[in-house]
Structure 1
Amino acid sequence: MTTHSDPTVKHDALYLFEAYDSNPNGDPDNAGKPRTDLDTGHGLVSDVSIKRKVRDAIQFQIDEGILPAEHNRIFIRRGVALNAELEDAYDTLGLEKGKNVKGDSVAKAGSYMVENYFDVRMFGAVMSTGNASAGKITGPVTIGIARSLDPVLPIDLSITRTASTKEENKDNASQMGSKTVIPYGLYACRVHYQPTRNNQVTSVDLEALWSTLTNMFEVTRSAARPDVSVRNLFVFSHSNALGNAPARTLLDSIKITKTTDKEIPTTGADYTITPPVEGEVKPGVTFKQVL
């Protein structure tokens, strides 16, 4: 087991990814356009969006036989009713369902969900709906909102569709639409792992998390995100669960410098990234460049 996959100690990570001619995270309150900070113009990607891609990439690895389905199922996924998943847990454990289930049933169901679902084990979940409550689980992994290092400049593109939806319009089929992309943006996200007393996370789970963060954009591409990719993943590992140094101090030791006079960078070459030398960087803290 490597230091950065030890589930008994605290880990703080800096996750860098870049987008070219893509919409890394559409804002439903702004017609699906790329999320931006209206005050500063910086691009944003929500923590929910990042965790969605982790879940999808884990499910992809299960479907392809890369990860075993046992203990790695995904609770929150498209096309699946959450209450049905919870009822399956009750049925498997032989528990009685109802609006007022007993506390020990909730605890048993919660433990079952943590053991068998990767995303519940890592991120936690609220599972107190329906007739099969499994309570609320607080996961050890926290993923922050990703923010671009500099302002981004979204571009609106008009597009046309040459096929009509109605028979009567087939001779006048051209229909207008639009999409918005960011020419370039380098995004930084902070990821934290804080082990808990009843932690069921294993070293295999942590290895799967770090590995998935490095490749998840490769298996979740879409027309909106044709060119989003990971640039770096840096992990600081402490020698205990409490931690030996503040996370911000450690993560800020990774120097990211803009090397262009352009107000808005247009390529990854406009930045240099200087991490610490691998090994012990502070007493009780080890640094690892995963990617």
Structure 2
Amino acid sequence: MTESIKNRYDFTILFDVENGNPNGDPDAGNMPRIDTETGHGTVTDVCLKRKIRNYIETVCEDKMGYRIYVKEGVPLNRSDKEAFVAVGVEEGNVKEKKKADPDLDSKIRDFMCANFFDIRAFGAVLTTFVKAALNCGQVRGPIQLGFARSIDPVVTQEVTITRTAITTESDAEKKTTEMGRKYIIPYALYRVDGYVSANLARKVTGFSEADLQLFWQAVINMFEQDHSAARGNMAVRELIVFKHDSELGNAPSYKLFERISVQRKADVIAARNYKDYEVTVDTNELPEGVDCIRMI
């Protein structure tokens, strides 16, 4: 098994959207998610992880050790069954197997971590079969992301659209076009902070250096294979990484994140481009044992 990572990392991603909906809220008619108190836009961690999973799946194409556990059209129990087969468990012999091998649950967990990249990276709730009385519990992944938040408050625009194709024969007798609507944000720059725990990688999932490099690649390109008319133009603009020279870290995360400043330029009234912002990273007198790497 590949050796797990040795260093803790804290990182910040800056990404933007132009004339699109970065993350619709199903409870609000699929409008872009907004903090109702401040007007800032938000994008969930689940949305960002989906993009990363999709990129990994596209690049690796079910390569051994780099499959995706949480994916569209594949029930989780279907993947769970593979682990049961690997350790010789069937629904009828669970009790006997557990008596003979008290570490059976951990062996199933290790199999899942070794075969599925997203479990190794983000963790998962491995409930497996309820009837089988096998429960690997919650695997806590070394990579954690928060919600992305826009730098400035956003304005959501409702755009009316038409189409010439009519749905039904009866409607075609009455009208020649149908109306619809979509929601867009003209422009917004978002920031999300994240963490990579070498301690959890070593103790739980075995997340390796090769996995980490693939993760950085996926972050940088997570919108490049995911273009859609609904999301407009989206791109990762900055990936700023603080690398600690130890497993547990050399400085608090918040002190490192505070060194990153993103400000709209003084002469810009309404930002409509990434160049309307100024991004600075204070690398003077970094805490001992911490390096700053701007990957984009």
TM-score by length of 1: 0.90
CA contact (8 A) 1:90 1:97 kept: no
Matched letter for residue 164 of structure 2: T
Alignment equivalent of 2:51, drawn from 45, 48, 53: 53
TM-score by length of 2: 0.89
Q: Matches of 2:111 and 2:140 in 1, distance apart? A: 14
**Cα deviation code 1:130-160 (max 9, x no counterpart):** 2464332110000110000110111000111
RMSD across aligned C-alpha pairs, in angstroms? 2.0
Q: Larger Cα Rg: Structure 1 or Structure 2?
A: 2
Q: Percent of aligned pairs with the same residue?
A: 37
Matched letter for residue 242 of structure 2: F
Q: Matches of 1:254 and 1:35 in 2, distance apart? A: 24
Do structure 1's residue 288 and structure 2's residue 287 form an aligned pair?
Answer: no
Q: 1:100 to 1:40 in 2, by over 3 A?
A: farther
Alignment equivalent of 1:144, drawn from 136, 143, 146: 146
Q: What does residue range 63-212 of structure 1 map to in structure 2 within 5 Å? A: 63=61, 69-97=63-91, 102=98, 104-130=103-129, 131=132, 133-171=135-173, 172-195=175-198, 196=200, 197-212=203-218
Alignment equivalent of 1:254, drawn from 246, 252, 260: 260
Matched letter for residue 10 of structure 2: D
Q: 1:98 to 1:29 in 2, by over 3 A?
A: farther
SS for the counterpart of 1:153 is coil
Q: 1:91 to 1:23 in 2, by over 3 A?
A: same
Q: CA deviation at 1:173?
A: 4.4
Q: Matches of 1:199 and 1:272 in 2, distance apart? A: 38
Q: Matches of 2:73 and 2:109 in 1, distance apart? A: 22
Matched letter for residue 205 of structure 1: D
Matched letter for residue 74 of structure 1: I
Q: CA deviation at 1:119?
A: 0.3
Q: 1:158 to 1:136 in 2, by over 3 A?
A: same
CA contact (8 A) 1:152 1:264 kept: no
CA contact (8 A) 1:109 1:133 kept: no
- Structure 2 unaligned segments of length 5 or more: list them: none
Q: Matches of 1:80 and 1:99 in 2, distance apart? A: 26
Matched letter for residue 151 of structure 1: P
Q: CA deviation at 1:22?
A: 0.8
**Residue number in structure 2 paired with 1:16:** 14
SS for the counterpart of 2:222 is helix
Q: CA deviation at 1:49?
A: 0.4
Matched letter for residue 87 of structure 1: K
Q: Matches of 1:78 and 1:72 in 2, distance apart? A: 16
Alignment equivalent of 1:275, drawn from 258, 261, 281: 281
Comparing 228-237 with 93-102, which one deviates more in the overlay?
Answer: 93-102
Q: 1:56 to 1:211 in 2, by over 3 A?
A: same
Provide the aligned length of Structure 1 versus Structure 2: 281
Q: Matches of 2:105 and 2:92 in 1, distance apart? A: 11
Do structure 1's residue 236 and structure 2's residue 239 form an aligned pair?
Answer: no
Q: Matches of 2:116 and 2:275 in 1, distance apart? A: 40
Comparing 82-91 with 42-51, which one deviates more in the overlay?
Answer: 82-91
CA contact (8 A) 2:113 2:205 kept: no
